Chain A
Amino acid sequence: MIEIKNLTKKFGNTKVLDDISLEVKRGEILGFLGPNGAGKTTTMKIITGFWSPSSGSVKIDGIDVVKNSVETRKKIGYLPETVPLYEDMRVYEYLKFIAEIRGINKGDIKGRIKEVVNDCGLSKVLRKPIEELSKGYRQRVGLAQAIMHEPDILILDEPTTGLDPNQITEIRDLIKSIGKEKTVIFSTHILSEVSATCDRVIIVNNGKIVGEGKPDELAKKAGSKELIYVKIKGPKNEVLKTLENMDNIEKASVKDKETDEIYGYEIEPKAGVDLREYLSMTVMKRGWSIFEFSKRSMSLEDVFKELTK
């Protein structure tokens, strides 16, 4: 449905997007994950035809978004990150304008606005000027605008920022229900959101795709890795050095500090190795003591941190 090939975007000499390729299937909810400035918004601006790419192409149902922008825009509903709305218009007036410009038949406009207003919970503010709306309502108006023409593709740039927890749940439910029939791409930097709503996750960093997969797959991949947390009494630098030089350890780092003598360390062992016994023996041998010992599996959050370092 959406086909992105070798997409690159440069501003002067800085590459904001660097050779991104990906495909999105019909009916898929795709989560775009990445730190701020990773290139999520830029990708969306290019798909929607607002910006043109420096090189590479985006095709929607085989139609190029640069060469035949008007056609591809008809298939897309878009909610930009900043939720730009015409402040001086009233909500109803605005929705009517959207319905008209989206080419909805004159006779159907009223009915369609009613449906959208119901879906997005806007009936209370229909007569209000947009400038008087709260952040949550603005977001809903933005969403109503995006789904007005029942687009095949919905592109939402951080649709839940600035909302309260109830509103976030509402928007997520809405995304899920729309995503049953339509393709949805949305960006976020909230990880729980991804596992709650997406079929597939793309993690981007510095303009490149650094990870891809189903949320549970990614978590599973991460879950096979374990992290050991251990609190040791002993001279910090020496302990760290010892830990780093042990066999079967990928990484060791200081996590926190209790007193000048007692530090907590986080250790990532090589996959499939149970280090506990060996570790405690080593520490004892050196005459230090262990105060705390725990093991946890890597979360999606750790994967994200690792990939976007």
Chain B
Amino acid sequence: MNKEYLKTIYCLFKKELMSYFNSPIAYIFIGVFLVVGNWLFFKSFFLIGQVSMRGYFDLLPWIFLFLSPAITMRLWSEEKKSGTIEFLLTLPVTDWQVVWAKFLGALSFLFISLLLTFTIPISMATLGNIDWGPVVGSYLGSLFLGGSYLALGLFISSLTKNQIIAFILALVGSFAAFMLSAEFVLMGAPNFLAPILKFLGLGSHFYNIAKGVIDSKDIIYYCSFIFIFLWLNVKVIETRGWK
């Protein structure tokens, strides 16, 4: 991997990130994300009266479940529909570079949205003593969880020209991947399957990291999940013109 390779990714990435902010959708998106998240959280925060963000990070996977597919739905399907994919993939770039750029662009957008929620822990720190370990862990976990949703959504977007279909399938796919390790699924699953499902589900790893315990197992799990879907994405792009 040389400098020129990375420079090309950076150049594509810049264009991807810019295209979010070129449309009003980005601002609406961030606005809704902040309002819904904060409102749902603070609704119960003052009732419970604890200086903890646990409630917020219990909510976050569910908010992400809707927001991530909204970020990724157009990434490939729009290129396919408008034909710009032909322009993009006749530039001197590899399929991998394009997929990385799109993924990193989406992740950065999610990161920016997440950064803006940092007002919550800051305002909380003025109210009382806040335990920063779980807060930092939860943010990190959110980024990994979000990244996994995005990788999955990006892959699904490459399968269709239709953004709505991409959104719905990504939502269903992310939900399934998250719920694989949910309590009630594990209880209902046969004994030998339960630990496997627990490992495969996106949710269990998120709650591990959110506790503030950063285990390499969870990190490797998320990185592999992301990588597998980026790889599948590249494979789908490679089959263009096979019909």
Contacts and interface: CB of A to CB of B under 8 A. Distances in A.
Given A48-B90, A84-B82, A84-B83, A89 B22 contact: yes
A100 to B, nearest CB: 5
A87 B82 contact: yes
B89 interface: yes
Contact of B241 (A52, A78, A86): A52
Interface string A68-87: 01110110101010101111
Interface of B: 4, 8, 11-12, 14-15, 18-19, 22-23, 82-87, 89-94, 240-243
Nearest to A93: B18
A120 to B, nearest CB: 16
A100 B11 contact: yes
B83 A80 contact: yes
A11 interface: yes
A100 B4 CA distance: 12
A70 B92 contact: yes
Given A51-B241, A89-B19, A101-B8, A45 B92 contact: no
Contact of B90 (A12, A78, A86): A78
A148 to B, nearest CB: 11
B241 A97 contact: no
Nearest to B15: A97
Nearest to B4: A103
Nearest 5 interchain pairs by C-beta? A51-B241, A84-B83, A84-B84, A73-B92, A48-B90
Contacts of A85: 84, 87
A269 interface: no
A74 B91 CA distance: 7
A159 interface: no
B241 A84 contact: no
A88 interface: yes
6 contacts: A12-B243, A73-B90, A74-B92, A87-B82, A89-B18, A101-B12
Given A70-B94, A74-B92, 4 more contacts: A82-B83, A82-B86, A89-B19, A103-B4
A50 B11 contact: no
A84 B87 contact: yes
B86 A80 contact: yes
A101 B19 contact: no
A117 B107 CA distance: 34
Nearest to B20: A88
A95 to B, nearest CB: 12
A88 B4 CA distance: 27
The winner among B19, B83, B241, B243 for most chain A CB atoms within 10 A is: B241
A50 B241 contact: yes
B90 A49 contact: yes
Contacts of B84: 84-86
A102 interface: yes
A206 to B, nearest CB: 18
Contacts of A101: 8, 11-12, 15, 91-93
Contact of A50 (B4, B89, B93): B89
Contacts of B4: 103
Contacts of A50: 86, 89-90, 240-241
A79 to B, nearest CB: 9
A70 B15 contact: no
The winner among B23, B84, B91 for most chain A CB atoms within 10 A is: B91
Nearest to B91: A101
A173 B92 CA distance: 28
Contacts of A102: 91-92
Given A84-B82, A84-B86, A51 B91 contact: no
B243 A11 contact: yes
Contacts of A82: 83, 86
Contacts of A87: 82
Contacts of B91: 73, 101-102
Given A73-B92, A101-B11, A45 B19 contact: no
A52 B242 CA distance: 8
A243 to B, nearest CB: 47
Contacts of B19: 86, 88-89
A100 B19 CA distance: 16
Contacts of A84: 82-87
A23 to B, nearest CB: 22
A48 B93 CA distance: 12
Given A50-B89, A50-B90, A101-B93, A88 B241 contact: no
A133 B240 CA distance: 29
A76 B86 contact: no
A159 to B, nearest CB: 15
B107 to A, nearest CB: 20
Nearest to A83: B83
A80 B87 CA distance: 7
Contacts of A73: 90-93
A145 B91 CA distance: 11
A302 B110 CA distance: 61
Contacts of B14: 97, 100
